[in-house]
Amino acid sequence: MRDLDVLVLGGGAAGLMCAIEAAKRGRKVLVIDHAKNPAEKIRISGGGRCNFTNIHCSPANFLSRNPRFCVSALKRYTQQDFLKLVEKHRISWHEKTLGQLFCDNSAKDIIRMLLSELEAAGARYSWKRTSRRLKNPTTGFPCQRPRAVAGGIACCGDRRAFDPPRWARPASAMIWPSASATT
């Protein structure tokens, strides 16, 4: 995978989902993370059972400078869409308080599901101990039209925690491009 279209920084839930969706759209995708094992926060979430969605989630549950930002995302990929993916992989689940859905067995089921979908879509996961090579994407990871997306702290807007390079693009631009967008 010498020529990349999308470089995803971070192999957590957001990064893996972004990579899966970008690869399904025909992009050559590489996910890199500092951890050897992807999705560590998924593994420990919900007491090891992973609270993977909430069936009552709506735009009213989000705070943002732009209150309409999440509306498009939530309409294009719903809780039911994720639940169909969980059921496709035969992961048993149960509902707890206020619509919270948890795995019956282990959060590792969700991680295996995401990695399986990542592989099926043609994307790759790699871990790197250093981010030095990311400062110039054409040096470390040759890209025709470099795009990088990130989740977690990178998306929270705290530039002290993560200062993305100029070539980075918000995850929302890669996951939900407008109908007229070609990238």
Range 6-175: architecture per CATH: 3-Layer(bba) Sandwich (3.50)
pLDDT, position 36 = 80
Q: Nearest CA to 138 among 147, 126, 129, 130?
A: 147
Q: What residue spans define the domains of the chain?
A: 6-175
pLDDT, position 137 = 45
pLDDT, position 145 = 52
Is there a contact between 148 and 171 (Cβ–Cβ < 8 Å)?
no
pLDDT, position 129 = 55
**Distances from the Cα of 140 to the Cαs of 42, 56, 143, 146, in angstroms?**
28, 42, 9, 12
Which stretches of the chain score pLDDT less than 70? 1-2, 129-183
